[in-house]
């Protein structure tokens, strides 16, 4: 008797309350379906993104990979001023060559630009760094006609 | 069946021992073996840059561009040349981000030097704070990364970065930035820029590795981060940085 009177008197409150509860339930269902399971494991982001970024391919094989095969050149280089210049600093990215050396043969670097980019005289370069004004120094001659790039000292 | 209090306790004890043995066996044999030797919790990545060694060759910018397929006209790392005349604002240039190197500086009468720039991998990063969807974040090993599948392309982070290190990728329409070559450093390689730097001006460092040369470097040199007043806790340290550099 009491319950019936309550329902009759407050129906205008009960009906929207049911709608609200249903909407909240729907929100929770949609939310759990849309948000990835591990979201928030390390912070407010999707941890799967870390794996996706890690899975990107590499282009530079790295010094250790080059030296594993080309130990002769590595020895020559280690004896000279270019000892701390990595192979791929001049030869470019060669991870593909490391994966399949016969199918991906690298081109020889273009000496004219390559040497000048580091060694052309420039007031902004550190004082102690070896640099020459190429026009006066070699007058258009290729650098490697005198210097051996792996160990450039004459 | 009559069970005394003593029986109940002994039986309970035996059951407890059995259960714990079973549980530890399950842990030893049932646990999946770790598929990966890399543990994020053991690293905290950053970089040290010796300004006095940078020759402005642009190798880093070229290497980065090729390693990460950076679209033309955009840069994840670049080199700036500063020319500072006494009493005048500094003249800064970075033609095509130093991708083609620099034309030689003719001015002997001014102070001039090169400064390599990249994402400073801030531990307290403004770009992460403004992202409305959790698309950019500091990874547990201290690298600021972007989740391409979550990024809306709203560019809040591009505006928030005090160092100008972010851009909207013109094809993907999501934000792109230096990942500190996360795909390389998690495999034990160094970054593409460090790999190709001929003078060792930039070096990848791991602050959590007690044997890393960074600890000696920080102890013996005067170092500075860019824009320290922004309180970003940047992890790219510059040695002998001139006060004019922003």
Residues of B in contact with A86 (CB under 8 A): 195-196, 198
Residues A39 and A74 in one domain: no
Domain of A133? 110-149
Give the pLDDT band of residue A3 (cuts 50, 70, 90).
confident
What is the reported pLDDT for B174? 97
Give the pLDDT band of residue B27 (cuts 50, 70, 90).
low
Name all contacts of A28-35 with Cβ < 8 Å and 24+ positions apart. none
What is the reported pLDDT for B33? 46
**d(Cα B159, Cα A128) in Å, to the nearest integer?**
39
Residue A9 domain flag: yes
Question: What are the two backbone dihedrals, phi and then psi, of residue B182, each rounded to the nearest 5 degrees?
Answer: -55, -35
The answer, yes or no, to whether residue B31 has pLDDT greater than 60, is no
What is the reported pLDDT for B173? 96
Residues A88 and A117 in one domain: no
Give the pLDDT band of residue A8 (cuts 50, 70, 90).
confident
Read off the pLDDT of each residue in A70-96 and give the average, rounded to a whole number: 93
**Smallest Cα distance from B5 to chain A, Å:** 46
What is the reported pLDDT for A37? 86
* CB neighbours of residue B148 within 10 Å: 16
Apex CA B177: angle with CA B68 and CA B71, to 5°?
50
What is the reported pLDDT for B11? 82
**Domains of chain B in sequence order:** 40-127+137-239 (3.30.70.20)
Read off the pLDDT of each residue in B144-153 and give the average, rounded to a whole number: 96
Between the alpha carbon of residue B211 and those of residues A10, A122, B17, B143, B205, the distances in Å are 73, 36, 44, 20, 10
User: Among all chains, which residue has been given the structure tokens 């970003």?
Assistant: B232
Residues A47 and A63 in one domain: no
Q: Return the structure tokens found at A152.
A: 């450039």
Residues A86 and A118 in one domain: no
Instruction: Characterize B154-175 residue by residue with b for buried, 16 or more Cβ atoms within 10 angstroms of its Cβ, and e for exposed.
Output: eebbbebbbbebbbbbeeeebb
Mark yes or no for CB contact A49/B145 under 8 Å: yes
Mean pLDDT of chain A, nearest integer: 92
**d(Cα A146, Cα B1) in Å, to the nearest integer?**
103
Q: Which of B198, B204, B240, B245 to mutate to test the interface with A (most CBs of A within 10 A)?
A: B198
B76 touches chain A (CB under 8 A): no
Give the count of domains, chain A.
3
What ipTM did this prediction achieve? 0.85
The 10s digit of each residue's pLDDT in A22-65 is 999 999 999 999 988 899 999 999 999 999 999 999 999 999 99
Q: Return the structure tokens found at B76.
A: 């994840």
Question: What are the two backbone dihedrals, phi and then psi, of residue B80, each rounded to the nearest 5 degrees?
Answer: -110, 145
Residue A66 domain flag: yes
User: Among all chains, which residue has been given the structure tokens 């792996």?
Assistant: A150
Residue A115 domain flag: yes
């Amino acid at each position: 008797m009491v319950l019936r009177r309550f329902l009759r008197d407050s129906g205008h409150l009960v009906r929207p309350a049911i709608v609200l509860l249903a909407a909240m339930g729907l929100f929770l269902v949609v939310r759990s379906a849309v948000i990835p399971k591990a979201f928030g494991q390390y912070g407010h982001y999707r941890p799967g993104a870390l794996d996706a970024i890690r899975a990107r391919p590499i282009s530079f094989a790295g010094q250790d990979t080059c030296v594993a095969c080309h130990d002769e050149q590595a020895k020559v280089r280690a004896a000279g001023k270019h000892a701390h210049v990595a192979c791929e600093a001049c030869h470019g990215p060669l991870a593909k060559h490391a994966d399949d050396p016969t199918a991906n043969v690298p081109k020889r670097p273009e000496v004219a630009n390559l040497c000048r980019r580091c060694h052309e005289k420039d007031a902004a370069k550190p004082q102690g760094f070896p640099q020459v004004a190429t026009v006066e120094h070699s007058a258009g001659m290729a650098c490697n006609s005198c210097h051996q790039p792996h160990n450039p000292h004459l | 069946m009559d069970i005394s209090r003593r029986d109940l306790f002994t039986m309970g004890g035996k059951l407890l021992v059995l259960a714990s043995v079973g549980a530890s066996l399950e842990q030893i044999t049932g646990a999946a073996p770790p598929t990966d030797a890399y543990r994020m919790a053991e690293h905290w990545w950053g970089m040290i840059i010796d300004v006095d060694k940078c020759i402005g060759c642009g190798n880093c910018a070229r290497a980065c561009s090729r390693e990460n397929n950076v679209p033309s006209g955009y840069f994840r790392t670049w080199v700036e040349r500063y020319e500072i005349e006494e009493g005048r604002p500094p003249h800064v240039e970075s033609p095509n981000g130093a991708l083609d190197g620099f034309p030689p500086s003719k001015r002997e009468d001014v102070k001039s030097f090169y400064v390599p720039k990249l994402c400073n991998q801030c531990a307290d990063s403004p770009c992460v704070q403004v992202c409305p969807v959790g698309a950019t974040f500091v990874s547990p090993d201290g690298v600021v990364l972007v989740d391409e599948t979550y990024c809306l392309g709203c560019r809040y982070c591009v505006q928030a970065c005090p160092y100008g290190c972010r851009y909207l990728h013109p094809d993907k329409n999501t934000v792109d930035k230096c990942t500190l070559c996360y795909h390389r450093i998690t495999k034990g390689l160094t970054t593409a820029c460090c790999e190709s730097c001929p003078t060792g001006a930039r070096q990848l460092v791991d602050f959590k590795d007690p044997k890393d040369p960074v600890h000696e470097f920080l102890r013996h040199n005067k170092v500075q981060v860019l824009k320290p007043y922004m309180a970003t806790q940047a992890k790219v340290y510059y040695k002998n940085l001139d006060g004019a550099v922003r």
